[in-house]
Structure 1
Amino acid sequence: MTTYGLALPHYDGLFPDASTWGARRTQATLAYARRAEDLGFAEVWVSDHLTLTLDGGPRRRSPDCWTLLGAIAQRTDSIRLGSLVSNASLRPPALLAHQVATVIDLAGTRVDVGLGAGWNAQEYVSAGIAFPDAGERLAAVQRTADAVRQAAGEATPPLWIGGKRSGALAMAGKIGDGWNLAWDPNPAAFDTRRAQVNAAAEAAGRPAPRVSVGLTTLVGQDEPDLRRRWELLRRRVPDGYLDRVTFDQWRTKGLIGTVDDLSARARTWTDRDVDHIICAFGMPFALFDDDQLNLTRQALSIRRSSEQEPTAL
């Protein structure tokens, strides 16, 4: 059965109240993690960047990914939590493995580790280190996965490899428990890439990894309400992020539609046996409309934690 997660808002200003910056931002993120759990979402995901800059706008800071995940572990009881994705070449493998092991101490078996090769050269400049070539960045994914598994031992969490280029796809098949593709993949291109991942897994003598996709999400009660929410989103998304796209163009993405038609949009992916869908409300790791969580729960028949049957021991 496909489960649904939330790309948790955690950057300065990317909240329904655009003045949510700094310490207020981090506290708001923790509150949304708890709310996602209460509504029945299966997982919250946190990106791993020093800052986010949109079309030349201000640098928007974020809490450290693994520190934040540790705090989420203490504020929640049952929801899973993971990185989407941690840049394996930005930290020494032993350091990231140590951070992961600490969060496992706090969250137990609720942790997922997403790893990627990194892409943002400016981020390396900010960290004071050289930007490695693609081969070295991919090798760092392998080394970090090995370090996490060694540090965690029997408690090793699922390792998800994120990416769409051939090297990342091969790495996902070779070492990953799961593979993530974001954002808003074309279904036909997804099928082609999934075949590459599965072929790499078969060559390595491993089972095909689980699969997750990240999808832009916007829900309206009906067509007029959907368009109204789009106009609200377009005005509030910062730095002209949506100024170059029309409503009709944008609504072809991911999970965008009315409450009545959203389940049909989701079937594009559930019919492909995707294990997990990560909802990004308006843009990745942002939330501009509090009501979206409730509408998505309604549209996709997500059950609240209090409504779910107890797990057999």
Structure 2
Amino acid sequence: MEFRIFTEPQQGATYSDLLKVAKATEDAGYDGFFRSDHYVKMGSVEGLPGPTDAWTTLAGLAVQTSRVRLGTLMTAATFRLPGPLAITVAQVDQMSGGRVEFGIGSGWYDTEHTAYGIPFPALGDRFDIYTEQLEVITGLWTTPLHETFSYEGKHYRLTDSPALPKPAQRPRPPVIIGGRGAKRTPALAARFADEFNVAFSDTTVAGEQFERVDAACRAIGRDPAGMVRSIAQVVCVGWDDAQVTRRAAALGRSVEELKRNGLAGTPAEVVDRIGQWREQTGVSRIYLQVLDLHDLDHLELIAAEVAPQL
């Protein structure tokens, strides 16, 4: 089982905060450091000092870390044009020495779009945009050197693009797709994804979605075994019940709710819960949503007492 740390900086974090967590992630032996791609906070938190841009952050971390994988869950297709986004991600991959993983979704949070003047089309149109972005971005990355890339879609048209720069990873960085859509999402994952992620769901919902993705892979002649299955879950671990309670209180949530909807409890409890996930869904990678970015001891405890048992 691989463990990655997943942060939500729109809830309130500076680049300095994220750098400390990323370095702690690396030092503790986790596989990766990931962040959301949002421009507006959610819930009752103030979200100060305000959002940090996902790919600007990852560019900085690319040169200030040395081992952990870096990426997004998920970059919103509505935020950026596919050509410039392909350039940005390729450059960050080069800066990191080939450690980037590209999570991308259709975009869903209408509030951040209206807050910053970003167009927010209807869902069907957003999914069309999402599909074309994947076609363009992966097409640019995989075009052979000294050849050009052209594309004619409903939303994007590219003519004789030099398709540069190339990412450090060849033919391209891993692509992560996720979500619970029953038809178009699995079909898109079968075409493009190296990893499929189901976030903040129970084992039944996640298992059913993984099966849909497997079926979509088989429908196009792809072996589903080549797709990494992953989940994202909020985490709250403590040496004992008292520490679990204190950490839950710092998040403004109850222990009971966190145990029901995430990975919470003592190390033994969380190891048991992750074992259930593995047995029931076949996941091999977990993104641990860490909401208190100042509690670095939390990361060390999980790395020392949970990860070695799995």
> TM-score by structure 2 length?
0.82
Aligned-pair CA distance for 1:57: 4.7
Amino acid at match of 1:3: E
Q: What corresponds to 1:132 in structure 2?
A: 121
Q: What corresponds to 1:98 in structure 2?
A: 87
**Partners in 2 of 1:232 and 1:47 — Cα distance?**
21
Mapping 1:36-55, distance limit 5 Å: 36-55=25-44
Greater relative CO (CA pairs within 8 A, separation 6+): 1
Moved over 4 A (4+): 56-60
Amino acid at match of 2:245: R
Q: What corresponds to 1:228 in structure 2?
A: 246
The yes-or-no answer on 1:67 pairing with 2:56 is: yes
SS in 2 for 1:212: strand
**Partners in 2 of 1:269 and 1:101 — Cα distance?**
34
The yes-or-no answer on 1:280 pairing with 2:293 is: no
Gaps of 5+ in 2: 143-169
**Partners in 2 of 1:58 and 1:66 — Cα distance?**
19
Segment of structure 1 superposing worse, 287-296 or 110-119:
287-296
**Partners in 1 of 2:29 and 2:251 — Cα distance?**
24
Segment of structure 1 superposing worse, 65-74 or 220-229:
220-229
Aligned-pair CA distance for 1:38: 0.7
**Partners in 2 of 1:123 and 1:263 — Cα distance?**
36
Q: 1:58 to 1:157 in 2, by over 3 A?
A: closer
**Partners in 1 of 2:10 and 2:47 — Cα distance?**
11
SS in 2 for 1:51: coil
**In 1, are the aligned partners of 2:11 and 2:45 still within 8 Å (CA)?**
no
Amino acid at match of 1:165: G
Q: 1:248 to 1:96 in 2, by over 3 A?
A: same
Task: Report Cα offsets for 1:243-300 as digits up to 9, x if no partner.
Answer: xxx432332232111022221111122323312100012x4xx535232101111222
Q: What corresponds to 1:309 in structure 2?
A: none
Mapping 1:226-265, distance limit 5 Å: 226-234=244-252, 242=253, 246-265=254-273
Aligned-pair CA distance for 1:11: 3.5
Amino acid at match of 2:300: N
**Partners in 2 of 1:230 and 1:128 — Cα distance?**
35
Q: What corresponds to 1:170 in structure 2?
A: 187
> TM-score by structure 1 length?
0.82
Q: What corresponds to 1:6 in structure 2?
A: 5
Q: What corresponds to 2:173 in structure 1?
A: 157
Task: Report Cα offsets for 1:120-145 as digits up to 9, x if no partner.
Answer: 12222234243212222112222222
Aligned-pair CA distance for 1:302: 4.5
**Partners in 2 of 1:129 and 1:53 — Cα distance?**
17
The yes-or-no answer on 1:297 pairing with 2:303 is: yes
**In 2, are the aligned partners of 1:97 and 1:144 still within 8 Å (CA)?**
no
Q: What corresponds to 1:237 in structure 2?
A: none
**In 1, are the aligned partners of 2:78 and 2:118 still within 8 Å (CA)?**
no
**Partners in 2 of 1:300 and 1:216 — Cα distance?**
15
SS in 2 for 1:68: helix
Q: What corresponds to 1:194 in structure 2?
A: 210
The yes-or-no answer on 1:268 pairing with 2:276 is: yes
**In 1, are the aligned partners of 2:230 and 2:286 still within 8 Å (CA)?**
yes
**Partners in 2 of 1:273 and 1:181 — Cα distance?**
12
The yes-or-no answer on 1:182 pairing with 2:171 is: no
**Partners in 1 of 2:197 and 2:300 — Cα distance?**
25
Aligned-pair CA distance for 1:60: 5.9
SS in 1 for 2:295: coil
**Partners in 1 of 2:90 and 2:62 — Cα distance?**
13
**In 1, are the aligned partners of 2:12 and 2:46 still within 8 Å (CA)?**
no
Q: 1:264 to 1:199 in 2, by over 3 A?
A: same
Q: 1:53 to 1:60 in 2, by over 3 A?
A: farther
Task: Report Cα offsets for 1:199-243 as digits up to 9, x if no partner.
Answer: 111112223221110011111111232223323432xxxxxxx4x
**Partners in 1 of 2:189 and 2:59 — Cα distance?**
25
Gaps of 5+ in 1: 15-24, 235-241, 304-313
Task: Report Cα offsets for 1:31-54 as digits up to 9, x if no partner.
Answer: 211110010010011111122132
The yes-or-no answer on 1:76 pairing with 2:94 is: no
| Identity level (%) | 28
Amino acid at match of 2:212: Q
Q: 1:160 to 1:287 in 2, by over 3 A?
A: same
**Partners in 1 of 2:86 and 2:47 — Cα distance?**
31
Amino acid at match of 2:223: P
